[in-house]
Amino acid sequence: MSTYHAVVVGAGFSGAVMAERLASQRGWRVLVLEQRNHLAGNCFDKTDVNGIRIHQYGPHLFHTNKPEVWHYLSQFTEWQPYEHKVLARVGDMLLPLPFNLNSLYRLYPAEHAQQLEQLLIQRYGAGAKVPILQLKQTDEPELRQLADWIYQNIFVNYTMRQWGIKAEDIAPEVLARVPVVLSRDDRYFHDQYQAIPVDGYTALIGRLLSQPGVDVHLQQDALQRLKLSQGEIWLDGEIFKGKLIYTGMLDQLFAYQFGELPYRSLQFEFKQLDFPYFQTATTVNYPNEDTFTRITEFKHILTEQCNSTTIVTEYPQDYDKNDPQKNIPYYPVFTADNQEKFGQYKALAAQYPQLIPLGRLAEYKYFNMDDAVLNALKSFAEL
Ligand SMILES: Cc1cc2nc3c(=O)[nH]c(=O)nc-3n(C[C@H](O)[C@H](O)[C@H](O)COP(=O)(O)OP(=O)(O)OC[C@H]3O[C@@H](n4cnc5c(N)ncnc54)[C@H](O)[C@@H]3O)c2cc1C
């Protein structure tokens, strides 16, 4: 009979926060099973041969307006202040993103930009964040022309490639995530707290999981050890009476009985280059390229002093569980059909009172890191 009070599947932020809380606040014994050979889920980072900290699954920049998340994590890490900057390469121009007044002045000669700025501010107010679809609906012809340019050159192709969909299928909420900003603030995020853990996300998550009472087993596919049947949970062939906190894919847990939940995946191409810098910002988006969406140069984050640099290029693709090049699920695909299918899995999960589906995979939701942490803290509080 297992002596664990809880099994946590997945050592990303969601699983690690829950394991930490259960062990430190309840004194529970917690077994964490992680299929990868490292902690931290998709936030995994490490130092490469050039001494540069890289993020294996794409650039992860911490930003939040949630003081409770900031204060909770600050018990486990020091922070290096960092404000993310992104440029968009359109033709031979590099425009600050989100598109803002600085971008406007790079796009047009000063006189015309000034005229558009005045129109924008009159209509929406200084500092406003205007979703592109709202800007496109303006009855002011010059502003509509501007909105159409931004939509065509910055939003539409990028979004189509990122999600693998046609222009007409793009959900307004997706476009609204990056508004047009009527200020000269070039920061990509405007949150109150913006920083990188001084010794990385992996070290931070390692500290969360180093509570007395927490055992972590890496390279363990939990589904080889767990069985769910008729409302009961089995661990290593024996009935398990504790809680199961599951941060993997819900469709996989239930053997895809209602069909697969679709995800978008990514390929990351890392390159080490023998010169100090490749580009002038951490991330440059390529909204109109055919195959890739963006290039990130990690050295801009912690400004390591060395004569070489490391970049990563992102190629979006559909998730395919049978193809080793495509079998990491990154983003849930939001459509009414997919939500309905997810609802079936959720209803099935509810038949197991010990089971708590948690995190971006099990809840089939896009969570930023701070959302994942807050969600886990709330879920613990509800236990
Ligand atoms: C490309 C990209 C960039 C991002 N950038 C940012 C950013 O800049 N800022 C930000 O705030 N957020 C960012 N995010 C979001 C961030 O990655 C998530 O918020 C975070 O990873 C969620 O943590 P999680 O624990 O829910 O999921 P995950 O990190 O995915 O952890 C789940 C873990 O469960 C494990 N697992 C699954 N199934 C099993 C199984 N059967 N057995 C054992 N283990 C299993 C997985 O291996 C994984 O390690 C980004 C996401 C992506 C994809």
Q: What is the CATH number of the domain that holds 370?
A: 3.40.50.720
pLDDT in tens, 101-126: 999 999 999 999 999 999 999 999 99
Per-residue tokens: 362: 């099990």
| Ligand 1 center to 353 CA (angstroms) | 25
Q: What is the count of structural domains for the chain? A: 2
Ligand 1 residue neighbourhood (C-beta within 6 Å): 9-15, 33-36, 41-43, 57-62, 221-223, 247-248, 266, 330, 359-361, 367-370, 372
Q: Which domain holds residue 120?
A: 98-181
Whole-number Å distance, alpha carbon 224 to ligand 1 midpoint, is: 21
The answer to whether position 12 is within a domain reads yes
d(CA 150, CA 152): 6
Reported as a single tens digit per residue, the pLDDT across 186-232 is 999 999 999 999 999 999 999 999 999 999 999 999 999 999 999 99
Q: Are residues 112 and 176 in the same domain?
A: yes
Domain assignment of residue 89, yes or no: no
Ligand 1, atom 21, lies closest to the CA of 42
**Distance between Cα 41 and ligand 1 center (Å):** 5
Residue 348 covered by a domain: yes
Give the separation between CA 123 and CA 102, rounded to whole angstroms: 18
Residue 3 in tokens: 């002596």
pLDDT, block means (10 residues), the chain with 383 residues: 92 98 98 98 96 98 98 98 97 96 98 97 97 94 96 92 84 82 96 98 98 98 97 97 98 97 97 97 94 97 96 97 96 90 98 98 97 98 94
205 Cα to the center of ligand 1, angstroms: 12
**How far apart, in whole angstroms, are the C-alpha atoms of residue 154 and residue 340?**
31
Q: Is 175 in the same domain as 220?
A: no
For the chain, first and last CA: distance in Å?
A: 23
Identify whether 17 is part of a domain: yes
Q: Which of 264, 292, 368, 380 to mutate to test the pocket of ligand 1 (most atoms within 8 A of CB)?
A: 368
Using CA atoms, how far apart are residues 36 and 219, in angstroms rounded to an integer? 5
pLDDT at 27: 98
Q: Which of 162, 181, 200 is the last residue of a domain?
A: 181
Q: Which atom of ligand 1 is nearest to the CA of 57?
A: 1
Regarding whether 350 and 256 lie in a shared domain, the answer is yes
